[in-house]
């Protein structure tokens, strides 16, 4: 319980996820924010080109200082995002907070791996968008298990 003058707990709710990449067989962007590292979203099996976007829309404003991606088979032969711009919604336009952020995946197994994209400072926002510039697409697509913010 909060006392006067103190912030109480906030239910920030689950963000909605959308993408311009399209969806692979039996996947949905909802998996990106479903709370499980063991379900995933994947782009179509062929024809995926960059750039494209993955957007999270929050039910209420929240402070974001980093975006955390979880994936498996991210490195080399896999399907992990390797470079992206991190943008936040400013109420009327998207602003780039981290440009050309590099992601280096070290695993190429079914073990889920996490990598963080840090913003220079926390931003209060109702949306985060990744402009995906590059990904490992040896299998023809890209995939992400979960995206969270801190």
The CA-atom distances, in angstroms, between 133 and each of 8, 37, 53, 81, 122 are 39, 23, 9, 8, 23
Would you say how long the chain is, in residues?
A: 150
pLDDT at residue 106, rounded to an integer: 87
pLDDT at residue 76, rounded to an integer: 65
Which tokens go with 14?
């689950």
pLDDT at residue 17, rounded to an integer: 98
Is pLDDT of 2 > 80?
no
d(CA 107, CA 78): 9
pLDDT at residue 108, rounded to an integer: 82
pLDDT at residue 7, rounded to an integer: 38
Q: pLDDT tens digits for 31-53?
A: 999 999 989 999 998 888 999 99
C-alpha count within 13 angstroms, C-beta hemisphere, residue 89: 15
Is pLDDT of 12 > 80?
no
Helix (H) or strand (E) holding 52: strand 52-71
Q: Is 133 left (phi over 0), alpha (psi -120 to 50) or beta?
A: alpha
pLDDT at residue 1, rounded to an integer: 34
Record: fold of 16-149:
Jelly Rolls (2.60.120)
**Phi, psi dihedrals of residue 75, rounded to the nearest 5°:** -95, 155
**Domain locations along the chain:** 16-149
Q: pLDDT tens digits for 14-26?
A: 999 999 999 998 8
β-bridge pairing 52-71 and 16-19 = antiparallel
Collapsing DSSP states into helix, strand and coil, what is residue 16?
Answer: strand
Which tokens go with 119?
């913003």
pLDDT at residue 119, rounded to an integer: 98
Q: pLDDT tens digits for 53-98?
A: 999 999 999 999 999 999 988 776 578 999 999 999 999 999 999 9
């Amino acid at each position: 319980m909060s006392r006067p003058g103190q912030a109480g707990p906030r239910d920030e709710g689950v963000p909605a996820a959308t993408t311009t990449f399209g969806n692979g067989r039996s996947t949905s962007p909802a998996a990106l924010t479903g709370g499980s590292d063991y379900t995933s979203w994947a782009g179509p099996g062929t024809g995926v080109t960059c750039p494209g976007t993955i957007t999270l829309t929050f039910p209420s404003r929240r402070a974001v200082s980093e975006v955390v991606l979880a994936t498996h088979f991210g490195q080399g032969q896999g399907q992990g995002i390797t470079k992206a711009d991190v943008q936040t919604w400013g109420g009327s336009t998207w602003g780039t907070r981290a440009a050309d952020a590099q992601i280096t995946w070290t695993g190429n197994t079914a073990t889920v791996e996490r990598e963080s994209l840090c913003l220079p400072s926390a931003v209060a926002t109702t949306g985060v968008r990744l402009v995906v510039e590059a990904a490992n697409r040896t299998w023809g697509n890209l995939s992400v298990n979960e995206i969270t913010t801190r």
